[in-house]
Each structure stands twice: as structure tokens, then as C-alpha cells.
Structure 1
């Protein structure tokens, strides 16, 4: 168990919390501790009923099931690999700049998600990190 703990502690700080949240939030929904309908982005509830947690939880939530488990694992791999590479490469020693880039991308994705009625924001944010890393 210490090997897993050592590996987890070796992940850069921002990526570590993002990765852990992307595992914990779907697990809470899958175990039934929180109703998954509270974790996705519904623009009507977010804009008119002041449920301000929805963009945050929609960023970390992914409905894991028999048909989507592989896609979830691939996205976790992308999150770990490319966020770690970006945080230790282009943004090495500048965690505030990396956090600002993530925040800016997240705000743009939330605005797009509200306009286009996207309910899950995990994949677009991971793909934005992959895009920034590749350019």
C-alpha cells in the first residue's frame, strides 16, 4: 500500500487534487451517496435555481458503468499523463499560472456548456489540457 501512496504523493499538486476529485466524485455517485442528477450541469437549475455547485461537480463527475468504464479510464489516463507533463514542463515552478490556465479553460467550458446544454464537463477540460500540452 505504501507504493500506491508514494506514487500518489509523487503526482504534482494541482494534478493530484484534480485526479483525486475525478475519482472521488464519480465514486460518490456510483455508490449512491449522492444522487448523480445533482452532479451534472443542468443550465436551468444552475441559472434559475442558484445551484452553483453544478459546474464544479460536472467537471469532476463521469457516469461510470459497464458501457462507459473504458472511456472513463482512458480519460483518467489522459488527465494524469498530460496534466502532469504540462504542470512539470511548460508550467514548472509556476503553479499559479497553471491554475489560472485551468480556471480560464473551465470558465470557457462552463459558458459553452450552458449555451450548448452540455451536462458533463470532465472530457472537455481534459482535452483542453491535452491541446495546450500538444501545442
Structure 2
């Protein structure tokens, strides 16, 4: 019964979050079982462009990914996928410049940043010690990472990419003279979004039993 409940819960998760989480879990499991090496997953431009290796392990940002997909991206799956693609491409380019090879944490911070800026009035608590507004969450996580002795460059990369997306999507279009610059490609809408109803469509009246359809036109 517990397995059925877990499976049911998994299939209730929105599609993009479900795929993202499954990829993270399967990748982590493969590394832990020594089926693959972490060095086969890190971002290596030489291997990508010369040997066509697909790379990129990401830690699960499940919670914020799901809240985004069920919140501000509800009914906009194609736009959500486009945010993934936009963030991934931009992060890869910045990673090349900064010589950063493990970008999973940066991607998670990007999701956290976008979610936090779209929920500015939400109060949060960190380990029961610190209360703050949601927009401070990425910076709190970065400070905690610094306390653990980790480099903050990856976190800063995620914050930077998240801010660029947030500014182009939520801020600039609402400025005087601003306009929407991030336009989701039509092929993504065709794949991920349900077709819109035609406002001019008028269904034919239901036929009564035994009536010839030609008689209804007379």
C-alpha cells in the first residue's frame, strides 16, 4: 500500500517537475551504485563538443520546482520548459567563462530565486533561527553554503541567471517602453500546451433520434 501511495503521489506531480526529479534521483542512484562515475557527468566542454558527451547532474530542487509549476506556471508548461532551456543555456555559457563544471546547484538556486521573487510577501524560517521574507532565501542559502566552507561562485551563478530571467520576464515588460523579450517558441507550445479553444467554433446542435440530418437544414 505504501508503494502504491508513493507511485500515486509521483504521478500527481506536474510533468516537468516529475521529469526533473526522476532524472536527479536516477542519476544520483547510478553514481551511488557505481554504475557511472561523477566525472562522466560534470560539465566538460572538451568532451561535449569533441566527443558528443551529454553532461550535467543536478541536485533535486524538487520543492521549488513543483511550487513554480503549480503556481505561476500553472497551465503554462511550455513557458516552464522554456525557462529551463533559457536558464540552462545561459548557465552553461557563464560556466565556461568562470570555469565552473558542476552546475546542478546553480540550477537549483535559479529555481529558488525565481520562486522567491514571485512570492515576495511570504515569510520563511531557516532552521527555526532566522525569519525573513522569501526574496532573501537565495542569499540565506548562499551564506549557509559559505559557512560550510563551499565556494559561493556556483550559488552566485544561479542567482545571476535567475535574476536575468526574472528581470526579462517580470520586470522589463512592465516598464515604460518595455516589452516582452522572452517568447516561448511555437514548437514548445505545440508539444507541451493543450490547443486553445477556437472562440468562433459553434458546435452543431445534437441530432434527435430518428431525424434525418438533411431535414434539420430545411
For residue 52 of structure 1, report the CA deviation from its aligned partner.
4.0
Q: Distance in 2 between matches of 1:10 and 1:17?
A: 12
Task: Name segments (4+ residues, structure 1) moved above 4 Å.
Answer: none
Secondary structure of the residue aligned to 1:32 is coil
- Which residue matches 1:33? 35
- Structure 1 gaps, min length 5: 61-74
Alignment-derived partner of residue 64 in structure 1 = none
Bigger Rg over Cα: 2
- Equivalence for 2:84: 102
Query: Could you tell me the TM-score, scaled by structure 2's length?
Result: 0.50
State the Cα RMSD in Å. Answer: 1.5
Alignment match, 1:18: 20
1:51 correspondence with 2:52: yes
CA contact (8 A) 2:27 2:57 kept: no
Q: Which runs of 5+ in 2 are unaligned?
A: 118-218
Q: Is the 8 A contact 1:59 1:120 kept in 2?
A: yes
1:83 and 2:65 matched: yes
Q: Distance in 1 between matches of 2:105 and 2:82?
A: 19
Measure how far apart 1:37 and its partner are. Answer: 1.4
User: Once the two structures are superposed, what CA deviation does each residue of 1:67-118 show, in whole Å capped at 9, x if it has no partner?
Assistant: xxxxxxxx53xx1211111111111101000100111011111111122121
How many angstroms apart in 2 are the aligned matches of 1:51 and 1:3?
40
Q: Which has the higher helix share?
A: 1
**Aligned partners of 1:15 and 1:80 also within 8 Å:** yes
- What count of residue pairs does the alignment treat as equivalent? 115
| Cα separation, 1, equivalents of 2:52 and 2:100 | 16
Q: Paired residue for 1:124, among 106, 115, 119?
A: 106
Give 3-state SS (helix, strand or coil) of 1:131's partner.
helix
Q: Is the 8 A contact 1:59 1:125 kept in 2?
A: no
Distance 1:129 1:121 in 2: 13
